[in-house]
Structure 1
Amino acid sequence: MISQALIADQLPEIRSWYEHLHAHPEFSFQEKETASYVFARLQEMGLQVHQIPQNAVMGFLSVPNAKSTIGLRAELDALPLHEQTGVKYASKNAGAMHACGHDLHMACALGAAKLLAAHTSDLKHNILVVFQHAEEKIPGGAKDVIASDFFKEHKPDVMLAMHSFPDLKAGEAGFRSGPYMASGDEIDVHIKGPGGHAAMPHKTVDTVLTAGQVLVALQQIQSRFIPTEIPSVLTFGNICAESVMNIIPREVLLEGTFRTMDESWRKKALKNIKKIVENTATAAGADAETVVRPGYPAIKNNEAVTPKLQDIAINLLGNRKVHSLPLRMTTDDFGYYAQLIPSAYFRLGVADSNGRSPGLHTPEFLPNATALETGVKLLVQIIQEY
């Protein structure tokens, strides 16, 4: 077994990888330099390495006599934020930042790959490490990876993903069997009319008022249509009329998101949303168009795989540092892997010893320094013992 002392010896190099990746973030579908950096590190370790045109990089470690494969997914892409952490290795790419921990995930996956590649005699399974592009932007990169010949050739029997979690302290981890994260579809509602003078609404159609009626009517999706046992959220975060106080605009745009834990209900809900929009607009004399951009599927953690990983984490970290996670309405395109392969998506604590941490997707987000070591240890232990 790979010792904790050996992992500690490798940490300075792993830390240097993390700082480089943090300092050079790239947006979804633009991760060319990040992919090249990861590709080079995997080659140095002796893995069979492949890159697909969309930027994802995969490394395959063949283990003598292994009859199965464990897959591990990390993400390449960053977010459009101006970093405000003040660290010496802060982003060198203005307006881009690793504010979701993807740099940490990559460094942990690279560190685990290097340690495991040097100790294949301790392994029972082959390993496929996937550094996936475009997790942050619909349609996501997971489907490109899954469709690639390299992934099909080395298709894992189990797929894993570890993700930063500011709600837990560094040195802690979290797991949940069964449904864990929601699907996430983007919805644009266009309310249209002839437009006109605000002082004469009787001569036109009030698209702003109609948009308000549509918003209120759509809350029936949650209060009346969704089975009470299925968590769901319908939220509109933007209303755009592009008008002034004395003009009724010809069009009002509503932008929102629908999220749920149930794939069959998801399809029904989207049909109901379109129906409510059309009927409400028609009643007001307006026209309406609903555009749905399909997002990621819900993540259901395999109920045979996940408890085994949790037990391994407890043995490594201690019972008090391994937590059961609540449901989350956030999304991740790891759901595509989970639909195809028995999978587990688990959490790595990144807060300080007092439990303080800026949230994910904020310009101040920075994992606690000790989270890197815990992440590498956890991945190595899980892959060795599973």
Structure 2
Amino acid sequence: MMIEKIKEIVSSVKNEAISNRRHLHRFPELSFQEYKTSEYVQSVLRSHAIDFEVVADTGVLAKIVGKKSNSTQTVILRADMDALPIHEENDTDFTSQNEGIMHACGHDFHTANLLAVLSILKEMEADFSGTVVGIFQPAEEKIPGGALSILAAKKLPPPGPDVKGVIGLHVSPGLEVGRIGVRPGKFMASADEIFISLKGKGGHGAQPHLNIDPVVIAAQLILSLQQIVSRFADPAIPSVLSFGKVLANGATNVIPNEVTLEGTFRTMDESWRKQALELIEKQIKELPPIYGATAEVEIRRGYPVLVNDEALTGTVSSYLKDYVSADNFEQLGIWTAAEDFAYYSYTYPALFYFIGTGNAEKGMTSALHTPTFQIDEDAFEHAIGAMVYSVLQLLDHA
């Protein structure tokens, strides 16, 4: 039986996957700076005699052509490689050696997982027809994202019926190891960044009538902007507007000249996204002058809504259930985090799903993007095998 055969092979490559993941974890690199990571990926691919080419500076595209029979069908797999500007607090023998940089979002796992998947498919190339393309993508964590660079390189197969789909996964500490989570349709939010500079007239805190207080105006602005979400958005459309950084460099008795704010807007609807950003910009420009201040605003458009193709999701979900069992498969809700995998979903049928990496008994419960985030590496057994099985099934049913 194919599943049993795959599980046997996965058992034989799991230690290599763990070793690769730990190497990547020890030497993380930030977005658009993944040079040594890219070199390491290339060396592993070379050791397995897998063809590849370098694209988008640090990206790598691997390619395996099945030898069972001639076929034009293709499946694309994607893993991201970049890390985050976080100082790791875990105490392990593979703790980050690069000060202030950490794989706190599991991209080390994603990369090691795809390397293992491709090594197995290379070993099984006589057993399938069609082509598997592996994307090792830079810069998921930083706008504009590496996916756009990969797509712009025009090295991927052209969209069309020959491309069965592009598939990616993400670790989830909220799912126990052994579980897989999927959501058809809209899954993850768009994300845009908002940067505001409010300029007033600083002075003594005891004489506010002689000043134009940008701190009070900033407070008014933050509260008024929330009304765009609460009073303009359709309540059925998830929307989030958050300001996580407000800098007013005054003192207890000093009103500053300027306040800067940084925030994010996220939603699950592209039409509302466009309207909301227009309303946000208008409000920022028009409210401060009422109080005598001026405002400058920059809105950096980020990733679009990630949409999982309904048909592909349904098909692959059945394969995932076959591999991990229906008891270990669950339907997910929407998640207002963002992913530049979304760009692939506007070009090809796409599926992005979660693999459980949490383990309460081992104390591995820290959230993504935290300095104590850890992964239960037993997740490789399910992540590698489920992806290999899904690819083979997709190509077998072309």
Q: TM-score with structure 1 length normalisation?
A: 0.96
What are the equivalent positions in structure 2 for 1:1-386 lying under 5 Å apart?
1=2, 2-64=5-67, 65-151=70-156, 156-352=163-359, 354=361, 356-386=364-394
Paired amino acid for 1:31: E
How far, CA to CA, are the matches of 1:109 and 1:166 in structure 2? 19
How far, CA to CA, are the matches of 1:52 and 1:291 in structure 2? 30
Greater displacement, 290-299 / 1-10: 1-10
The 8 Å contact of residues 184 and 310 in structure 2, kept in 1 or not, is answered as yes
| Structure 1 alignment gaps of length 5 or more | none
Q: Could you say what secondary structure the match of 1:340 adopts?
A: coil
Q: Could you say what secondary structure the match of 1:363 adopts?
A: coil
Q: Could you say what secondary structure the match of 2:83 adopts?
A: coil
Paired amino acid for 1:151: L
Q: Could you say what secondary structure the match of 2:262 adopts?
A: strand
How far, CA to CA, are the matches of 1:152 and 1:68 in structure 2? 10
How far, CA to CA, are the matches of 1:228 and 1:60 in structure 2? 45
Distance apart, 1:43 and its partner CA:
2.4
How far, CA to CA, are the matches of 2:210 and 2:18 in structure 1? 67
How far, CA to CA, are the matches of 1:3 and 1:267 in structure 2? 46
Runs of 4+ more than 3 Å apart: 152-157, 353-356
The 8 Å contact of residues 193 and 301 in structure 2, kept in 1 or not, is answered as yes
The 8 Å contact of residues 191 and 287 in structure 1, kept in 2 or not, is answered as yes
How far, CA to CA, are the matches of 2:298 and 2:287 in structure 1? 16
The 8 Å contact of residues 364 and 375 in structure 2, kept in 1 or not, is answered as no
Greater displacement, 15-24 / 29-38: 15-24
Q: Could you say what secondary structure the match of 1:34 adopts?
A: helix
Q: Could you say what secondary structure the match of 1:166 adopts?
A: strand
Q: Could you say what secondary structure the match of 1:58 adopts?
A: strand
The 8 Å contact of residues 313 and 382 in structure 1, kept in 2 or not, is answered as yes
Q: Could you say what secondary structure the match of 1:87 adopts?
A: coil
Q: CA RMSD in A?
A: 1.7
Greater displacement, 242-251 / 126-135: 242-251
Q: TM-score with structure 2 length normalisation?
A: 0.93
| Structure 2 alignment gaps of length 5 or more | none
Paired amino acid for 1:41: V
How far, CA to CA, are the matches of 1:374 and 1:200 in structure 2? 65
Count of aligned pairs between the two proteins = 386
How far, CA to CA, are the matches of 1:289 and 1:78 in structure 2? 31
Q: Deviations over 1:104-129 (max 9, x none)?
A: 11111000101101212332431110
Q: Could you say what secondary structure the match of 2:38 adopts?
A: helix
How far, CA to CA, are the matches of 2:159 and 2:111 in structure 1? 20
Paired amino acid for 2:51: Q
Q: Deviations over 1:246-290 (max 9, x none)?
A: 222211111110000111111110100011122211221211111
Q: Could you say what secondary structure the match of 2:301 adopts?
A: strand
The 8 Å contact of residues 56 and 153 in structure 2, kept in 1 or not, is answered as no
C-alpha spacing 1:157/1:313, structure 2 compared with 1 (3 Å):
closer
Distance apart, 1:84 and its partner CA:
2.2
How far, CA to CA, are the matches of 1:162 and 1:44 in structure 2? 24
The 8 Å contact of residues 146 and 152 in structure 1, kept in 2 or not, is answered as no
The 8 Å contact of residues 128 and 154 in structure 1, kept in 2 or not, is answered as no
Distance apart, 1:138 and its partner CA:
1.2
Paired amino acid for 1:22: H
Paired amino acid for 2:57: Q
Distance apart, 1:152 and its partner CA:
5.0
C-alpha spacing 1:357/1:125, structure 2 compared with 1 (3 Å):
farther
The 8 Å contact of residues 170 and 353 in structure 1, kept in 2 or not, is answered as no
How far, CA to CA, are the matches of 2:284 and 2:132 in structure 1? 48
How far, CA to CA, are the matches of 1:182 and 1:193 in structure 2? 35
How far, CA to CA, are the matches of 2:205 and 2:87 in structure 1? 40
Greater displacement, 255-264 / 357-366: 357-366
Q: Could you say what secondary structure the match of 1:369 adopts?
A: coil
How far, CA to CA, are the matches of 1:132 and 1:154 in structure 2? 19
The 8 Å contact of residues 60 and 154 in structure 1, kept in 2 or not, is answered as no
Q: Could you say what secondary structure the match of 1:188 adopts?
A: strand
How far, CA to CA, are the matches of 2:107 and 2:186 in structure 1? 23
How far, CA to CA, are the matches of 1:31 and 1:313 in structure 2? 31
Q: Could you say what secondary structure the match of 1:328 adopts?
A: coil
Distance apart, 1:379 and its partner CA:
1.0
Paired amino acid for 2:98: N
Distance apart, 1:62 and its partner CA:
1.9
